[in-house]
Amino acid sequence: MKLFTSIFLLLFSLSLVSYAKQETINIIPRPASLIVQKGHFNLTAQTPISISESFDAKFKGYVQEKIKNDLGFTCMIGQGNTSPLVNAIIFEQTNDPSLGDEGYSLVITPSSITGKANTYAGIFNAFQTLRQIIPANALKLKEQQIKLPCLTILDKPRFEWRGLLLDHSRHFQPKEFILKQLDEISAYKVNKFHWHLTDDQGWRVEIKKYPNLIAKGAWRADRRGIHWWSREFAKPDEPKPIGGFYSQDDIKEIVEYARVRNIEIIPEIDLPGHSKALKAAYPYLSCRQDLLFEVSTGGRSPNNTICAGRESTYEFIDGVIEEIAQLFPSKYIHVGGDECNKNDWTVCSECNKRLKENHLGNFEELQSYFITRINHQVTQRGKTMIGWDEIMSGKGTPGAIIMAWRRNRYSPEVDAPRAGYKTIQASYTESYINNHQGPAYLEPEAPRGIIPLKKVYQYEPIPSVLTEKEASLIMGTQVCLWGEFTPNPEISELMLYPRVLANAEVGWTKPELKDWKKFEVAIEDNFKRLERDKINYSKSTYNPLITFVPDTISKTAIVEIKPDIDLYNLRYSVDGTDPTPHSKKYKKAILANFNTDIKAALFTKKGELQGSIVTQRIEVIKKKK
């Protein structure tokens, strides 16, 4: 083991020097060690591929599919081929402790390409790296062979959790959309899909014991064309045509598709708040038997918390957890626990009785009692419970994993590991990619925040104030695409890409090897891959952000123009005309008068416009009384 470790460290140190020699090899996420050697391997349609029999049998079909997708030809694949192979690609199982569960080695020589890993996950990752070494435009090349540079890669992830959350409660998306995203994110070694399946606006998973969950809970009244936060509540007799659900057969298909792509699907059933759809389907779960409930149409959802006092609530949830545990082979079940409005609990005789009988000091402790009961149901099925950071309130939930999303007034990213919880970082200030990526007026509707590609990339999941022991409890990170403003697959993809790729490198690559300038080059190369795979990605990274600080006395403002990408010339104008390649080059903050239109854009050295021309009027907007 010491020998393996020494070799790994030697290659790692050499890679810091060799990276400067391989600017044309653009791999996302960036490998731990990459050493380029002289020579090339000639990849042709006749190149045989050998896959160890110890790897999943479905890997063969997956490799064939992707070679066809990336290169346009069908390759010859055998398993466990013992005869000598010439000009071959070989995937072998090894026993190298330094590689861990997901690491791999990839060696390209003039005569062979050899990938080695301890596990299926590792060999899958090796293949994804090989796919990115193949030129992104290989399909368009007319050559009969593709020259791949000789190199040696030793690689393994920084974190075990490299995830993406998709919210399909707010807006249901078809099964085909999910399969497409699983296929794409796996190419960048994302290995966790956190699936937000229930909320106020829809229950999306079939539970056979409780058929009303999809018969009523999956459908809502039509409020399309009305702003999400201005929608009126549904009426009982109103048609409910909007929604959908995933059958258990759908889920089994999706889970298996993900498994082949080394992705673990973690279901989320959001409790005890965010449960308006659940209460609409089964009203007896509510504290308020005097109210009628309909699936929320959007916006605010008052009275959306289920009763924590009645024993029938826990019996119901146990039935749900039983089927969820059987449907999803993941070792995790996410139970939400966030934003629990306790107003109904305070006036509920059953909740107050439960609080008194269990000697609970307040309703925060009633929430931790509730979550602890659910945690027991989860662990009984051999699973580990995950919850949003609010489950630390009251007496907390020992043994659970915390997904830390809140920031500013709260600090769960520090508090959770300090309290001994394993923690997944999902910061709403850096990782909520439902926010705009660039200037809001150029983008689809979204919350008011702006989280550009560079900000996602520069996020550091381990707070510097943590001790080494506390930091070891950080499992990793994920980006979250909440569904309020993603009504269809096209907009969803636009918000996902390329920011998912930035977070993939955050989760995989050690901080000392991350390099924004090199990532900028790599992301442009991978834009070609996204286009090949028919992904509707955003080009907002080419749109500069213009911000200003006004001085109402002098009626001037200090203006800053911040490009998200630094590869191009940033030009601007202050006279209302569109900037050209010959306009002033932005170097530092400028002073501008009120009622001036500042315009900015990025240009290549050849004078080609990249992205859009961005306009910002310098004025003070008076607040409405």
Spatial distance between the Cα atoms of 266 and 247, rounded to a whole number of angstroms: 16
Mean pLDDT to the nearest integer, 268-280: 98
At position 65, the amino acid (one-letter code) is: E
Q: Mean pLDDT across the stretch 276-281?
A: 98
Q: Is the pLDDT of residue 15 over 90?
A: no
Question: Taking the CB of residue 431, how many other CB atoms lie within 10 A of it?
Answer: 25
pLDDT for 501-540, tens place per residue?
Answer: 999 999 999 999 999 999 999 999 999 999 999 999 999 9
What is d(CA 370, CA 381) in angstroms, rounded to the nearest whole number?
Answer: 18
According to DSSP, the β-strands at 569-573 and 584-585 are antiparallel
Average pLDDT over residues 197-210: 98
Given a cut of 80, whether residue 89 has pLDDT beyond it is yes
State the DSSP code for 562.
E
Q: What is the pLDDT of residue 623?
A: 63
Which residues lie below 8 Å from residue 510, measured CB to CB, with a gap of 6+?
Answer: 32, 158
Dump pLDDT digits (tens) for 529-576.
Answer: 999 999 999 999 999 999 999 999 999 999 999 999 999 999 999 999
**Which pLDDT score is estimated for 80?**
59
All residues at 6 or more sequence positions from 88 whose CB lies less than 8 Å from its CB, including other chains: 47, 48, 49, 50, 112, 113
In the chain, % of residues over pLDDT 90:
91
Q: Are 137 and 112 in contact (CB under 8 A)?
A: no
Phi-psi region of 420 (alpha: psi -120 to 50; beta: other; left: phi over 0): left
For every residue of 576-594, which 3-state class applies, written as one string? CCCCCCCCEECCCCEEEEC
Pair 52, 32: CB distance under 8 Å:
no
* pLDDT exceeds 50 at position 14: no
Question: Which candidate in 167, 183, 184, 199 is catalytic?
Answer: 199
Q: Which helix (H) or strand (E) holds 248?
A: helix 248-260
Average pLDDT score over residue span 153-178: 98
SS3 396: coil
Q: In the numeric block, which tokens belong to residue 336?
A: 């939400």
Domain edges within the chain:
2-155, 168-509, 543-618
Going by C-alpha positions, the residue among 517, 557, 565, 514 that lies closest to residue 539 is 565
436 as an active site residue: the answer is no
- List pLDDT tens digits, range 307-349: 999 999 999 999 999 999 999 999 999 999 999 999 999 999 9
Residue 573 contacts residue 585 (beta carbons within 8 Å): no
**What is the percent of the chain where pLDDT is above 70?**
95
Specify the CATH number for 2-155; select among 3.40.630.10, 3.30.379.10, 2.60.120.920, 2.40.50.140: 3.30.379.10
Write the single-letter amino acid at 608.
E
Options 339, 531, 551, 608, the catalytic residue: 339
Tokens representing residue 228 in the block: 């999400």
Cβ neighbors of 415 (< 8 A, separation 6 or more) are: 389, 392
HSE (side-chain half, CA atoms, 13 Å) at 174: 6
Q: Is 460 a catalytic residue?
A: no
CA 97 to the chain's CA centroid: 29
Measured between its terminal Cα atoms, the distance across the chain in Å is 70
How confident is the model over 576-601, as pLDDT tens digits? 999 999 999 999 999 999 999 999 99
Is 608 part of the annotated catalytic residue set? no
pLDDT at 624 over 70: no
**List of residues 6+ apart from 264 with CB closer than 8 A:** 191, 192, 193, 258, 330, 331, 332
Q: Tell me what pLDDT residue 533 has.
A: 97
Tell me the CA distances in angstroms from 60 to 75, 93, 125, 150, 331, one per residue in order.
10, 14, 14, 24, 26
Annotated active-site residue in 274, 413, 436, 493: 274
CATH of 543-618, one of 3.40.1000, 2.40.480, 2.60.40, 1.25.40: 2.60.40
Contact 107, 90 (CB under 8 A): no
pTM of the model: 0.94
Class (C level, CATH) for 168-509: alpha beta
Positive or negative, the CA dihedral 134, 137, 140, 142 is negative
